[in-house]
């Protein structure tokens, strides 16, 4: 992204401020001092100034302008191949179908909890698509499509919903709190914003090690009110961490509207305070999201530091399966955003390019439904994680006390759903 020189709050540039400081530093002494004395003083001051660490000029922000490809066209089309475009659309379809199935399962009492991302597929898939496979993702909890994009089998994802014997997390996490090391997808954590500082710390470590790795992390608009957000961006800016922070601004933090989160003009403009670029993009335009993210990723990989990206998007469904958004969101607002459905907008683009026919579209949806239904069927045939797994991964080597507790519990036999204390999450 192009860097522009910014002015301070009083209208003067940083360059002028430095000049004034230098002038003040070299103008000491009496007015009657000889020109030689003044010259010597200037040289001494210049020598001292050069020994000080250089102050980095702040990077320009595009944080007040919404960038788009599909509509306004103020960002260039990224020029992805036909195969890549269809691949992104397929990932969006699989994510949408998976989401619909998960909510039905939760309403039927077959899984305990779900956090939907319907309406936000372009935001997280478009950003993640700009990464290399070797880069790491530190998610919030509304980026369900990224594991699919990174090759995680649908069955592994569904196993996590059930917390069954096939679950990589061994049933220890809430549903939708995935962790896939093979896909460089770090464990989702429920506390708001904690992943931001983790990502920046990992980015700093990668930089110190000389690794060609970029970290990407996510939060919602409500996450910007957490101290982790400010801590993360401050460290990222100071140490030029190769990290991309994506704020998915969907206007609501559960039932709290955006205007109660901040008095800032935008979320992206907050980047100015930390001396890093801030970009505001149409989060339902997957091509624009990809393009601005690719610029940010390339910038980070070249050692030029972090970027804050604000994606303007909307969660069409509830905050979670425990939420009733009709109690706080007007129907007209929801209807308006449904007309901006990222899947439908991308579909129109692909049809205009003659890459997607109605028949192919139907086949993609049918294949996605068959895939998730097969994964659900397989998940429901698997039992619970073994009781002994409770004692695994606590220490590298199991202590005598832990072994004694394990053996005592195992003497009662494996847990069954009819046993007292069973909780059907």
Query: Would residue 110 show up in a list of annotated catalytic residues for this protein?
Result: no
Structure tokens at 149: 């994009």
The catalytic position among 280, 315, 329, 345 is: 315
What CA–CA distances, in Å, run from 286 to 148, 292, 360, 368, 373? 16, 10, 20, 20, 27
Is 328 a residue of the active site? yes
- Of 20, 84, 328, 353, the active-site residue reads 328
User: d(Cα 296, Cα 135) in Å, to the nearest integer?
Assistant: 13
**Which one is catalytic: 101, 299, 319, 329?**
319
Active site residue 315: yes
Q: Which residues are catalytic?
A: 315, 319, 328
């Amino acid at each position: 992204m192009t860097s522009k020189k910014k002015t301070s709050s009083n209208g003067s540039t940083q360059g002028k401020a430095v000049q004034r400081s230098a002038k003040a530093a070299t103008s000491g002494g009496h007015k009657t001092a000889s020109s030689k004395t003044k010259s010597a003083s200037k040289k001494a001051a210049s020598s001292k100034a050069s020994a000080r660490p250089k102050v980095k000029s702040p990077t320009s922000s595009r944080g007040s302008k919404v960038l788009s490809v599909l509509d306004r066209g103020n960002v260039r089309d990224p020029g992805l191949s036909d195969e890549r475009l269809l691949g992104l659309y397929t990932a969006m379809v699989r994510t949408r179908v998976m989401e619909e199935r998960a909510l039905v399962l939760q309403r039927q009492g077959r899984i305990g909890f779900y956090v939907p991302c319907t309406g936000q597929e372009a935001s997280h898939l478009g950003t993640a698509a700009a990464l290399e496979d070797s880069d790491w993702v530190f998610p919030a909890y509304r980026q369900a499509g990224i594991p699919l994009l990174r090759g995680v089998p649908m069955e592994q994802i569904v196993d996590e919903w059930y917390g069954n014997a096939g679950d990589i997390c061994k049933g220890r996490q809430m549903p939708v709190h995935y962790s896939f090391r093979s896909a460089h997808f770090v464990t989702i954590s429920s506390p708001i914003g904690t992943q931001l500082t983790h990502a920046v710390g990992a980015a700093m470590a990668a930089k110190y090690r000389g690794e060609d790795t970029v970290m990407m992390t996510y939060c919602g608009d409500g996450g910007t009110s957490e101290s982790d957000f400010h801590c993360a961006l401050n460290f990222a800016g100071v140490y030029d961490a190769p990290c991309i922070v994506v704020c998915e601004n969907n206007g609501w933090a559960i039932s709290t509207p955006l205007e109660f989160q901040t008095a800032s003009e935008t979320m992206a403009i907050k980047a100015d305070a930390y001396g890093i670029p801030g970009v505001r993009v149409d989060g339902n335009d997957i091509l624009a999201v990809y393009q601005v993210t690719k610029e940010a990723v390339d910038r980070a990989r070249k050692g030029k530091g972090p970027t804050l990206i604000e994606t303007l998007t909307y969660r069409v469904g509830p905050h979670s399966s425990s939420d009733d958004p009709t109690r706080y969101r007007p129907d007209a607002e929801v209807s308006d955003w449904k007309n901006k459905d990222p899947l439908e907008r991308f579909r129109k683009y692909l049809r205009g390019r003659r890459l997607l026919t109605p028949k192919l579209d139907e086949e993609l949806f049918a294949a996605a439904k068959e895939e998730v239904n097969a994964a659900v069927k397989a998940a429901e045939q698997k039992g619970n994680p073994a009781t002994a797994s409770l004692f695994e991964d606590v220490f590298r080597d199991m202590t005598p006390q832990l072994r004694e507790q394990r053996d005592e519990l195992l003497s009662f036999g494996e847990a069954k759903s009819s046993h007292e204390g069973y909780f059907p999450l």
